[in-house]
């Protein structure tokens, strides 16, 4: 899988304030990549740098292996702040103005209105739109010119649950049709339901990055290794527990009425555990890798504090 965006040691200082401190990660092509962090963590600063709105104090970034440039920037659909749409004009008329400013995409207007489900309201004044509809029109403006990469800063900020659900489904649909999407958010539920990959930033420091499924599958030990929780069961639980206590590499074993829960580093595979138990005369009837909520993992990584 090729890399769309490579961030290498990005730093940004405002006087004595360090907004970003050596952040590095790669965004795979075809992913929905969430940049997640508490308010004030540096997410917006990071997006501003990679879109050449801000200048980094150190480090670099590459789009498709090339340094940022105006030509590359024009090929990316960007929503860093709410566009200044004209309230007295229709949605369609506002998109015509946006296309004129971009000098491209006028022929795309019917298609992008259809993608954001605003075709039936294309002739309605912007002032009559709900907050969700206004945000969908803003996303429609980023689709003019049919860019392969989209960058959104807090795309559901300020929306009600219905509006959040609309934008969430729209992002999924755009990704399904081949768009790589990079989005900053502090809303854990949004990232867990929409994103395929995530980078967690706190106080300008990258805390972890990887796929969402990897992040949810385990905790992190003091040495930095990922700890996975696995639930096991067999007909003879006492024998299962005794066998597991003799297995190397398990960091914790807990017995319950229904089974045995173990903690181990991720290099100990479920297949290896199953093979070991079988060789010791125990046939497993359950082996489940426990999946944590993103909220729990987020708090494990960052603590329960805002960065403001």
Rounded CA separation 238/162 (Å): 50
Q: What's the pLDDT score for residue 184?
A: 93
Q: What is the mean pLDDT of each run of 10 residues along the chain (308 residues)?
A: 92 92 95 91 93 93 89 88 88 95 92 95 95 93 95 89 89 94 88 90 91 70 64 94 92 90 83 93 90 67 59
Domain 221-294, what architecture?
A: 2-Layer Sandwich (3.30)
Q: What's the pLDDT score for residue 246?
A: 93
Contact 187, 43 (CB under 8 A): no
Domain chopping of the chain, boundaries: 3-215, 221-294
Give 80's DSSP letter: S
Q: What's the pLDDT score for residue 307?
A: 52
Residue 276, both tokens: 């070991």
Q: What's the pLDDT score for residue 295?
A: 67
Give residue-wise pLDDT tens across range 205-236. Answer: 999 898 887 777 655 554 555 677 889 999 99
Give residue-wise pLDDT tens across range 22-35. Answer: 999 999 999 999 99
Q: What is the mean pLDDT of the chain?
A: 88
Distance between first and last Cα of the chain: 36
Containing H/E element for 212? helix 212-217
Quick one: fold of 3-215?
Rossmann fold (3.40.50)
Rounded CA separation 138/78 (Å): 10
Radius of gyration of the chain (CA): 23
Going from the C-alpha of 246 to that of each of 210, 267, 270, the distances in angstroms are: 32, 18, 16
Q: What's the pLDDT score for residue 162?
A: 86
Q: What's the pLDDT score for residue 72?
A: 84
Q: What's the pLDDT score for residue 290?
A: 75
Q: Is 161 helix (H, G, I), strand (E, B) or coil?
A: helix
């Amino acid at each position: 899988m090729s890399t769309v965006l490579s961030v290498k040691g990005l730093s940004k200082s405002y006087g004595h304030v360090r907004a970003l401190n050596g952040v590095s990660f790669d965004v795979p092509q075809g992913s929905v990549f969430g940049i997640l962090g508490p308010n004030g963590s540096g997410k917006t600063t990071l997006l501003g740098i990679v879109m050449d709105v801000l200048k980094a104090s150190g480090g670099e970034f590459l789009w498709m292996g090339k340094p940022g440039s105006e030509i590359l920037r024009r090929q990316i659909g960007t929503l860093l702040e709410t566009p200044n749409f004209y309230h007295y004009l229709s949605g369609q008329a506002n998109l015509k103005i946006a296309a004129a400013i971009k000098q491209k995409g006028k022929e795309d207007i019917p298609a992008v209105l259809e993608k954001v489900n605003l075709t039936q309201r294309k002739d309605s004044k912007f002032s009559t739109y709900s907050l969700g509809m206004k945000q969908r029109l803003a996303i429609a403006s980023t689709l003019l010119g049919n860019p392969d990469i989209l960058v959104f800063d807090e795309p559901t900020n300020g929306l009600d649950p219905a509006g959040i659900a609309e934008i969430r489904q729209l992002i999924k649909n755009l990704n399904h049709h081949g768009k790589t999407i990079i989005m900053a958010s502090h809303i854990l539920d949004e990232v867990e339901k929409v994103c395929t990959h995530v980078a967690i930033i706190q106080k300008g420091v990258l805390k972890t990055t990887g796929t969402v499924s990897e992040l949810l599958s385990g905790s992190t030990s003091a040495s930095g290794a990922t700890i996975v929780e696995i639930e096991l069961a067999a007909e003879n639980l006492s024998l299962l527990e005794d066998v597991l206590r003799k297995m190397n590499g398990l960091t914790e074993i807990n017995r319950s009425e229904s089974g045995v829960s173990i903690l181990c580093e991720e290099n100990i595979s479920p297949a290896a555990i199953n093979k070991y138990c079988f060789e010791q005369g125990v046939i497993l009837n359950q082996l489940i890798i426990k999946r944590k909520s993103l909220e729990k993992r987020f708090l494990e990584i960052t603590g329960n504090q805002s960065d403001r």
